[in-house]
Amino acid sequence: MSNNPSNPPEPEDKSLTPIVRPQSYSEKLVNALSDNILPKETVPETQRFAALSPEQKEQLEQIEKRALIQFTGMLDELESALGMLRMGHHFGWKVLYLIHSKKTIRKYEEILDIKIRDIFPDEGPSAERSIGLEIAKRFSNFWKVVSGETEMTKEDKENRRKIE
């Protein structure tokens, strides 16, 4: 392991190593213009993964099992609902409301037979990576941002689903 500050230490768990791909020109441009709204990285990468208790793991498994057995409908909706279920503890329900419409959240909650605000924290350990949450925090009312009542710039609208 190198002591060079430009080379961060490798994580103990190799599965937590981020996958890095080359950025497109538009991504580079958005990143350059977004310096004033990017989330502040205060949680180390190794702590961005929610450590679930055995009870939480069992709860997720039971919700998933019930949904897989009982669901009828379009398979892509079930897949998306299960993805939301798996991301919830890591990002929190506020980020989920920023990346999905209220209608979509209700649909996924119905598929999973849950209320995300009852299961997930408002902000999980990876929530600070959400540009949309950072944008929402700049305004006084989170729910007005979610419902679209707050006027946002075009750039903010485009970045609200992005994570860093």
pTM of the model: 0.64
* CA gap 105, 163 in Å, rounded: 19
pLDDT at 143 (0 to 100)? 67
Model confidence band, residue 158 (pLDDT cutoffs 50, 70, 90): low
* CA gap 84, 88 in Å, rounded: 6
What DSSP line would sit under 113-149, residue for residue? T--HHHHS-SS-TTGGGBHHHHHHHHSS-HHHHHHT-
